[in-house]
Chain A
């Protein structure tokens, strides 16, 4: 198979994502008061409602509705005041009622978008030919009706046509505010920004967990029996469906990461792909560059890490290209990504009924959200990662990449802000360097440790100051961090106790430089002859001569001055 980047020169990949997020921050399930848990003993958090017992009836969790409204507002969706829950029927034991309670043609959140900033190496996946007019045409010809939609939505498409239906008010539904969407343009450094439209975010309930016994790797095929644990059944779940606006696996990965940062910041979910509280299915089809007709899509499952999402899509794009180039045909099917073998295989699934017999759930009253309800949700939305990043970048002059990283994690951002509350604003980049690199590296070994547990903001501010004033060298930070972690020790005292303070006095440093240059005349000459690299050797000699206490940066400058 050809490499991805090569394939994408000839073929355009049209990718849509369906992202399920469990609202793990809630106390209870979607329609009953059972505790939300991830790893308790099987079937210990079940009640008549989530076990689907005869006579049980659902009552929606207010915080779940608030959470999805917040998710919609944070992704620029239009919040639909009127919507209903529907029943989606399929016979499968992971759904205790043999129907899933989900939403109909009108979801709480419709027609949003996120601007995706693609930087670094991954930006090269999108070839130069996919910008400007080509991009606009590509977007226009890949609307939601055509690809990327699961069977339930295409089923609803029929309902939209029903004249004067209660939800046929759909006709009056706004569509995308195209004017507000960014246009993709490649910047000089290769990075670019593209808008990704979000068709809808709807509210539903999660299924039970099943264990397949006797089959290969716990898969369903060949299993002799299956065991069911209903603890997860009824967990509040929001499903976000993008338009097929993504064009590279990197964009898909970044979109997912961005969404994760937003949801984590909203405090609605822990968004753990590992634990399955955030899950992603990808739809992908190929078409020749310049074509407007969409190809046949496949649906990818088991994309349960950011890497799997990227690599699974990359593989599938290359596979489809190979099939098509050899004159073969792509079949609409669901494929399973096998990370260990780095391939996708056709999934053997339950018998899928395409006709889910959707209808409005008569046991659940409709929703007519009030302005007050929506505004209350809006007021509870904290500063979102993009805004925070921009603020750090503009107000504190922090490098955009660092700002993005800090802003993306609420705990990190909170800690950073606590440090900045006592630090010198001019030293913000030093603080950022510590937070992003040194402190994170120190904590890396211990997954449970947090910045706030290990360090006092004042310690970090003091350490940043030591670095900013060259009192210690950047490579000495880790030693100070190790010494101060979990203590109340002042970094300055640590530096002094250990004699780590750098000598910055030019007079003293010049003496060292002179001594080294006298000893290393050959190397000095090499430098003068144009070998710039030799300066490193000379700085090293100065450091040795000063027993490590001299400021290497200053040595470098003094050496260059002395040799010029």
Chain B
């Protein structure tokens, strides 16, 4: 059985491990070998964790040998974004500030995947503290898009998306504050889901914007994303996160619902989004291909309007930086993090530790937040942004009274080249289609639809559903996937340059 690990989905790995066709250790070794072969070009990881992976794999194999029931993701390699704590790893947030920070505890989302039998192969690169859309702002190194190494993988969860696209892990965890799962998923040609705010615990995930952040999975198939979602919510509401809520682990079930077709379902399209300035023709074509797939399955396409969504980017850049300033205030070099040596006073030590520990974008966002929260300014901007949030949420509610889901682009364009967008405020626009969901809180999924006619790069469509109706994302996403891919397979699969490179299973 000379297969390559990258040819298997998470579902296939766990089935094979459960059936005894593969041992978890074999899988882990293959994944580590694939990483060794591919990582020099992709640079998706900040830390590869062979010891942790093999230990976890051995536990799975021992459990199987003892006749214990295996978790639903037994033996499945997973890449974890480096803003998630995992004991035995550093959690750096791709920042000099946390370069040597050893995780003192494990995040709930990571723990739940481990409990489901996952094998952690490494910590994935990201934009520093998740501020960015390219992963270029990592303090350590950029990550390259596996489909074209000259291009960015998107961000901030670029390492997670690239690891999955390059076949170094079938699934990965990311976090999404303004599109940080869906945008890199789109640019790397993998499936990436941001569930409803509160569906997945944020405990142990280093905060950027507390009212915006949400954890979610990447996979090469909708099925793998569904399995990961079930594992993430299976433990019930996390008692360590006040904003977490109970979600039924019904995602795998929702996948099966796709087989029944979409008769009677209504899918919304937002004309203003499809005609927006900056949307490239190839992306638009991809979204329309997805729309046809849904229509072919029996769904009716309906035009809907989100009149206040224009305010989303501005609202986001008020709320996000304000919360980021507050959340990052704790990095003062005292309890953890970079500490500037030789300072005569505490104030000097804090100011220099922060100046040298944080990169440019992290400083910019915190400065913006500190300004926006200051006396007088706060009343003007913060309240306006939170009112815009009310209106955007109401827009979605109104739209969902007409349709079951909305289909839209995930990004305006294909992956751009490293350094192509240098102006930070221009960079902010690459989240134009994803950001409103973080403002309103409901879930979305980015599903690959093929390669663009112009760039030859992955194209994607985004599905959006009402709050706590995330299982529909899986159902509708699976319909698109089945229409555009082969039998039960992935739309784009592993990036061709990396498929089969290292990682053979014995």
Give the distance in Å from the alpha carbon of A46 to the alpha carbon of B313 in the complex. Answer: 39
Instruction: Fill in one digit per residue for A136-169: 1 if any B CB lies within 8 Å of its CB, else 0.
Output: 0000000000000000000100110110010000
Assess the B203–A93 pair: CB atoms within 8 A. Answer: no
Give the distance in Å from the alpha carbon of A97 to the alpha carbon of B334 in the complex. Answer: 11
User: Interface residue tally of chain A, by bracket?
Assistant: 35 or more
Give the distance in Å from the alpha carbon of A265 to the alpha carbon of B197 in the complex. Answer: 43
Assess the A359–B322 pair: CB atoms within 8 A. Answer: yes
Give the distance in Å from the alpha carbon of A43 to the alpha carbon of B492 in the complex. Answer: 52
- State the Cβ distance, B370 to closest chain A Cβ, in Å: 7
Task: Choose among B205, B331, B332, B334 the residue that contacts A55 (Cβ–Cβ < 8 A).
Answer: B205
Assess the A59–B239 pair: CB atoms within 8 A. Answer: yes
Give the distance in Å from the alpha carbon of A60 to the alpha carbon of B163 in the complex. Answer: 38
Instruction: Fill in one digit per residue for A350-367: 1 if any B CB lies within 8 Å of its CB, else 0.
Output: 010001011101111100
- State the Cβ distance, B246 to closest chain A Cβ, in Å: 14
A465 within 8 A of B: no
Given A91-B350, A93-B332, A59:B379 Cβ within 8 A: no
A16 within 8 A of B: no
Instruction: Beyond A48-B105, A56-B204, A362-B210, list 5 extra A-B contacts (CB 8 Å).
Output: A54-B330, A55-B83, A91-B332, A93-B334, A359-B326
Given A53-B105, A55-B203, A359:B378 Cβ within 8 A: yes
Tell me the B180-227 residues at the A interface (CB within 8 Å): 202-207, 209-211
B61 within 8 A of A: no
B382 within 8 A of A: yes
Give the distance in Å from the alpha carbon of A15 to the alpha carbon of B493 in the complex. Answer: 73
Q: Which A residues touch B346, using CB under 8 A?
A: 93, 226
Assess the A87–B84 pair: CB atoms within 8 A. Answer: no
Give the distance in Å from the alpha carbon of A99 to the alpha carbon of B373 in the complex. Answer: 13
Give the distance in Å from the alpha carbon of A361 to the alpha carbon of B211 in the complex. Answer: 9
Assess the B335–A91 pair: CB atoms within 8 A. Answer: no
Question: What are 18 A-B residue pairs whose CB atoms fall within 8 Å in the complex?
Answer: A52-B335, A54-B330, A55-B83, A55-B85, A55-B91, A55-B107, A55-B204, A57-B242, A89-B329, A91-B332, A96-B335, A99-B329, A165-B383, A228-B334, A357-B325, A358-B378, A362-B243, A365-B243
Give the distance in Å from the alpha carbon of A73 to the alpha carbon of B277 in the complex. Answer: 59
Task: Choose among B91, B93, B335, B347 the residue that contacts A351 (Cβ–Cβ < 8 A).
Answer: B347
A98 within 8 A of B: yes
Give the distance in Å from the alpha carbon of A362 to the alpha carbon of B335 in the complex. Answer: 23
Q: Which A residues touch B207, using CB under 8 A?
A: 54-55, 57, 363
Q: Which A residues touch B325, using CB under 8 A?
A: 357
Tell me the A326-383 residues at the B interface (CB within 8 Å): 351, 355, 357-359, 361-365
- State the Cβ distance, A28 to closest chain B Cβ, in Å: 13
Instruction: Name, among B105, B330, B334, B376, the residue most crowded by chain A CB atoms within 10 Å (CB to CB).
Output: B330
Give the distance in Å from the alpha carbon of A314 to the alpha carbon of B277 in the complex. Answer: 72
A221 within 8 A of B: no
Task: Choose among A51, A87, A162, A361 the residue that contacts B335 (Cβ–Cβ < 8 A).
Answer: A51
Task: Choose among A91, A358, A364 the residue that contacts B242 (Cβ–Cβ < 8 A).
Answer: A364
Give the distance in Å from the alpha carbon of A93 to the alpha carbon of B353 in the complex. Answer: 14
* A residues neighboring B (CB under 8 Å): 48, 51-60, 87, 89, 91, 93, 96-99, 155, 158-159, 161-162, 165, 226, 228, 351, 355, 357-359, 361-365
- Top 9 closest pairs, chain A to chain B, by CB: A362-B211, A98-B329, A357-B373, A362-B210, A54-B206, A55-B204, A97-B330, A52-B330, A363-B210
Assess the A54–B378 pair: CB atoms within 8 A. Answer: no
Assess the A57–B241 pair: CB atoms within 8 A. Answer: yes
Give the distance in Å from the alpha carbon of A420 to the alpha carbon of B153 in the complex. Answer: 81
Assess the A57–B378 pair: CB atoms within 8 A. Answer: no
Q: Which B residues touch A99, using CB under 8 A?
A: 326, 329
Q: Which A residues touch B335, using CB under 8 A?
A: 51-53, 96
B104 within 8 A of A: yes
Instruction: Fill in one digit per residue for B312-335: 1 if any A CB lies within 8 Å of its CB, else 0.
Output: 000000000011011001111011
- State the Cβ distance, A503 to closest chain B Cβ, in Å: 73
Assess the B379–A57 pair: CB atoms within 8 A. Answer: no
Assess the A362–B332 pair: CB atoms within 8 A. Answer: no
Assess the B374–A355 pair: CB atoms within 8 A. Answer: yes
Assess the B91–A87 pair: CB atoms within 8 A. Answer: no
Give the distance in Å from the alpha carbon of A355 to the alpha carbon of B335 in the complex. Answer: 24
Assess the B330–A98 pair: CB atoms within 8 A. Answer: yes
Task: Choose among B98, B211, B322, B375 the residue that contacts A54 (Cβ–Cβ < 8 A).
Answer: B98
Q: Which A residues touch B350, using CB under 8 A?
A: 91
Give the distance in Å from the alpha carbon of A20 to the alpha carbon of B346 in the complex. Answer: 27
Q: Which B residues touch A161, using CB under 8 A?
A: 379
- State the Cβ distance, A418 to closest chain B Cβ, in Å: 41
Q: Which B residues touch A357, using CB under 8 A?
A: 325-326, 370, 373-374, 378
Given A89-B329, A98-B329, A57:B334 Cβ within 8 A: no
- State the Cβ distance, A406 to closest chain B Cβ, in Å: 43
Task: Choose among A59, A228, A358 the residue that contacts B240 (Cβ–Cβ < 8 A).
Answer: A59
